[in-house]
Amino acid sequence: MTEKVRVWDVPVRLFHWSLLGLFTFSWWSGENHEMEWHRQSGLLIVALLLFRVFWGLAGSRTARFAQFVKGPGEVLAYARKASDEHATDGHNPLGGWSVAALLLVLLTLVTAGLFSVDVDGLESGPLAGFLSFDGGRAAAEIHEIAFKAALTLIGLHVCAIGYYQFLVGRDLIGPMITGRRDLEAGETIESVRWSPLRALIGLVVILALVWAISKGFQFASAGDV
């Protein structure tokens, strides 16, 4: 039986599939003008993205940005012989930059959404009060542009997965579900390790921050009501 190695930790895999589900739901709720659901889903995406940034700095080996965001030279060298390369320890140099770009676009998308105002001024993000109406409308336009950019990057991401899955014969989907892939001959990679306590602390802090964002950083005491 082929020996397996763990290449993705639980938080990375939960982030990946939760983000896919929430992005799809946010798209649906926005298209169907279910704005309360859209806001709640957007706030959950904010929490996911902030956690991924935290985990990219404090997470397991393959989760860290330093592991998969490489310089131009390494990216070009990998791109020239991508189909001949063996499976990588986490994201490959080309995929690493695509992930970084997608995270940046999604962070722009949700940040703009927090400050957005609709044309009638009836629907707005929780932080829209910090901007003028014109500023809120500009944020809404950025939100729309970032959404289209995100769809483009997601489409490229899916195409890349399909290329490796069906043309190169390298399974990328299975490891993102199970966390493990087959070790190739001669490989000596160690399974990734992660700290549940560190993940929990980061998650608690981020959820507290997102709750404050949802309130527009306005905290009325009982005596003020």
Tens of pLDDT, residues 166-217 = 888 888 999 999 999 988 777 778 899 999 999 999 999 999 999 999 999 9
Instruction: List the chain domain ranges.
Output: 13-224
Q: How does pLDDT run across 10-62, given as a tens digit for each residue?
A: 999 999 999 999 999 999 999 999 999 999 999 999 999 999 999 999 999 99
> Can you give the pTM of this predicted structure?
0.92
- The answer to whether residues 35 and 29 touch, using CB atoms and an 8 Å cutoff, is yes
What is 13-224's CATH topology?
Answer: Fumarate Reductase Cytochrome B subunit (1.20.950)
pLDDT at position 224 is 57
State the pLDDT at residue 219.
82
Cα–Cα distance, 8 to 185 (Å, whole number): 20
For residue 28, the one-letter residue type is: W
